[in-house]
Structure 1
Amino acid sequence: MFKRLAILFAALPMTAGAAGLSDVAATLRATSTMTADFTQTAPDGRVARGRMIIARPGKIRFDYENKKLLIVSDGSRLSMIDYDVAQVSQWPVKSTPLGVLLDPDKDLSRVAKVVGETPGALRIEARDSKHPEYGAITMTFLKQPGGLALTGWTSLDAQNMRTEVILTNVRSNVAVGGENFKFRDPRVRTPGRAG
């Protein structure tokens, strides 16, 4: 199921200076909410688009265009809801690559490293060596005057299936309502309704 997960993060403010893990960690801690549009390329080459909302710690929502699919975390459980087949799959959010990104207290020095750096970009890979089944995420940041902007990432699941994401229209530290992290369970029938 992680093949279909898109791990999204957005442009984040950052203080000037050398880019590194401590700067990325400080930037993530300083970001409480964000929204962005995403374009996701699945391992089989299929492209999907949608909208993402994050409220840290632990909450995230991916709404897909033209699909009856929703991925949402309430802060503890990550749920993938496929409304076409009335199926819900769930995992502890900390057991997914999102766990690294959604926990503002996560010590990146224990799970991440710089894997590439040029004058204009920085790539960070996060992987929990004690739990390879959680997968990995490699985030690409553009270096800009006054900070870094996370423009996308590649996630790799335990079966080496790769998903790529590009972010646009990013807004950080905006008002986000708690109702965004709930979902209608397709397995529950509404009383009095036929079908």
Structure 2
Amino acid sequence: MDRRDRLTANPFRAGRAASLSRRAVLPLLLAPLLAPAFRAQAQTTAQTNAQIQADGQGAVLTAEDSAALERIAAAVNEVRTLKARFQQIAPDGSVTAGQFLMQRPGRMRFDYDAPTPILIVADGTWLTLVDQEVDQVTRFPLGETPIGMLVRDRLSFTDATIQVLEVVREPGATTVVVTDPRNRDEGHIAMVFTDDPVGLREWRVTDSQNLQTVVALSDVELNIAIDFRQFIVRERTDVRPDR
């Protein structure tokens, strides 16, 4: 694959090459593996997007929905660190994979397999994109991205900064669609949790233009020791905060 093809296939490089806006780049930061379960939910996603655009209101939760959310939050809050393999596919169909690390609160790291020269690190404040090929760093405020919800110190679906848009309960899994009402224009995130045991296995980020990215995790290890230095990005001279 030549340099031009790599710029097109890689959403990070494409974002820089085409000078995409911050809103356009953010959903592509975690472009995913489009799992079969999400294909089956395409109609549900369209209905969720219509609901958001129409009234801006959250979902009306049943007692069963609320119980499921409480169970998910309790299980998620017991996880302080996580290590896994990830696969992702961009809206243009390009597929990448690598290793994912998470340490709550606020820290995560995506190491992409070769030949993708990209590293993504969240340190609790910034979501940092490192283009290792040209030694360039771009930073986004973590709290203004949908993905920031995954690494909050405590997950609570009743928090004023989380609006539940939809809960889909299916055999073996529950999908929860949420947004931050303070940053609705940044889109929303759908998180898929297995039921037994309860655990995060997939997520999908959708922007205001209905561009979707989904990440799938495998080989998950929980509450293991992770060196905090994994979440530190060395300072470089070419640092570009993107606000």
Range into which the TM-score falls when normalised by the shorter chain: 0.7 to 0.9
> Alignment RMSD, CA only?
2.2
Partner of residue 40 from structure 1, selected from 69, 77, 88: 88
Residue 79 in 1 paired to residue 103 in 2?
no
Q: What residue is the counterpart of 2:211 in the other structure?
A: 161
Residue 89 in 1 paired to residue 113 in 2?
no
The verdict on how the C-alpha distance between 1:30 and 1:7 changes in structure 2, with shifts beyond 3 A counting, is farther
Distance 2:139 2:209 in 1: 18
- How many pairs align? 178
Shift of 1:121: 1.6
Amino acid of the residue matched to residue 166 of structure 1? A
Q: Which moved more, 1:69-78 or 1:80-89?
A: 80-89
Structure 2 length normalisation: TM-score?
Answer: 0.67
Shift of 1:113: 4.7
The verdict on how the C-alpha distance between 1:177 and 1:137 changes in structure 2, with shifts beyond 3 A counting, is same
Q: How do residues 141-152 of structure 1 correspond to structure 2 at under 5 angstroms?
A: 141-144=193-196, 147-152=197-202
Distance 1:105 1:150 in 2: 15
Shift of 1:95: 0.8
Could you tell me which runs of 5 or more consecutive residues in structure 1 were left unpaired when the two chains were aligned: 9-16, 189-195
More strand by share: 1
Q: What residue is the counterpart of 1:5 in the other structure?
A: 29
The verdict on how the C-alpha distance between 1:121 and 1:44 changes in structure 2, with shifts beyond 3 A counting, is same
* Corresponding residue SS for 1:131: helix
The verdict on how the C-alpha distance between 1:69 and 1:186 changes in structure 2, with shifts beyond 3 A counting, is farther
Amino acid of the residue matched to residue 5 of structure 1? L
Report which structure shows greater RCO (CA 8 Å, sep ≥6): 1
- Conserved? CA contact 1:61–1:72, under 8 Å: yes
Percent sequence identity is: 33
Partner of residue 178 from structure 2, selected from 110, 126, 147: 126
* Corresponding residue SS for 2:201: strand
Q: How do residues 16-55 of structure 1 correspond to structure 2 at under 5 angstroms?
A: 20-55=68-103
Q: How do residues 106-125 of structure 1 correspond to structure 2 at under 5 angstroms?
A: 106-109=155-158, 110-125=162-177
More helix by share: 2
Could you tell me which runs of 5 or more consecutive residues in structure 2 were left unpaired when the two chains were aligned: 1-24, 33-63, 239-243
Distance 2:166 2:26 in 1: 24
Amino acid of the residue matched to residue 26 of structure 1? A
Structure 1 length normalisation: TM-score?
Answer: 0.82
Shift of 1:29: 1.5
Map Cα deviations across residues 2-26 of structure 1 (whole Å, 9 max, x no partner): 2332289xxxxxxxx9861112222
- Conserved? CA contact 1:28–1:104, under 8 Å: no
Q: Which moved more, 1:155-164 or 1:69-78?
A: 155-164
Shift of 1:96: 0.8
* Corresponding residue SS for 1:99: helix
Amino acid of the residue matched to residue 170 of structure 2? T
Shift of 1:43: 0.9
